[in-house]
Amino acid sequence: MSASESKSQISLGFLTVVDSGEIGCVGGYLILNMGGRPLEFHCTAPVRANRAQQILYGESLTPFVYGELIARALIDKAAIKPSIVFADQTETLSVQGMTQLPVVLLAGQLTDIRRQPARHRFEVEGFTLELALQFEAQSETLARYVHRFVETIDLDEPFSRIRDAIEEAQRGARAA
């Protein structure tokens, strides 16, 4: 992530998981250029833990499904490796141990009682971000990207696009 990277080369990933109840959890991963235009979008088929998995995984089930299963599969599948991956759910952060990309939690609007103290917390343009300590040294660069991005688009806006796209994909699947 050198500062000399041209604007067109920089891309940002946005990752979220939608829990559709009985249907299961569906993950969406949107990669945007710095103008907010979509470059890639990936979504999963619904992932549903069975009863045994629910019992055996206990409280660790959601971080496991959100992060290790869904988020990992999505990040692995994408051809573009963005400079940052933003997530808006704490449970998704468990993917950090499985990817080299910095996964930043958009924590500003969350009641984050489970915040892990071993994360670097910083603020950019009114958004509170959390980052694994191993990437702390890059936080300034990341902040610069965020600063440029939010000149045109609010940082939490792409998540609503992902949710709409997941709903559209599910509607299409139901119709088919």
Partner 1 sequence: MADWQADSRLIQTPAERLSMRHFAQNDSHLPEVDSWINPEVTRIAGAETLLPGVEIFPMGWQKALRRAPAVKAQEIAWQVDVPAVLTVPANPPKVKVLGFVFPESASWDSFARKTDIEEPTESKLGGSGKVSGSKKYGKASQSKGRTRVLPPRDIIKLEDRLYYLLQPPLESIAATESLRFPFAPFPYQFEGVAFLYSRFAGILADEMGLGKTMQAITTIRMLLCSGEIRNVLLVCPKPLVSNWKKEFELWAPEIPFSIVQGNSARREWQWNQMADTPVTIANYELVLRDEMAVTNENCHFDLVVLDEAQRIKNKSSSTSKAIRKIPRTRSWALTGTPVENSCEDLVGIFEFLSPGYLYTGMEPMQIGEMVGDYILRRTKDQVMTDLPPRMNRDADIALSPEQWTQYQVAENDGVIKLNNMGDALTIQHVFELVLRLKQICNFDPLTGASSKLDRLEADLEEVAASGKKAIVFSQWVKTLEKIAERLERFNPLQYHGRIPSNKRDSILDQFKQDPECSVILMSYGAGAVGLNLQFCEYVFLFDRWWNPAVEDQAINRAHRIGAKGAVTVTRMISSGTIEERIHQVLEEKRELFDTILSQAKGPSKSGLSQEDIFGLFELKLPVG
Residues that bind partner 1 (CB under 8 A): 8, 27, 30, 32-33, 35-45, 47-50, 52-53, 56-57, 64, 68-70, 73-74, 77-79, 125-126, 150-154, 157, 160-161, 164-165, 168-169, 172
Q: What angle do CA 70, 30, 38 make, to 5 degrees?
A: 160
Nearer residue to partner 1 within complex by CB, 33 or 138: 33
Phi, psi torsion values for 85, nearest 5 degrees:
-115, 120
Nearer residue to partner 1 within complex by CB, 120 or 125: 125
Nearer residue to partner 1 within complex by CB, 64 or 122: 64
Nearest distance from C-beta of residue 49 to partner 1, angstroms: 7
Nearest distance from C-beta of residue 117 to partner 1, angstroms: 28
Say which residues have a Cβ less than 8 Å from residue 92's Cβ, sequence separation at least 6: 15, 16, 17, 63, 66, 67, 70, 71, 103, 105
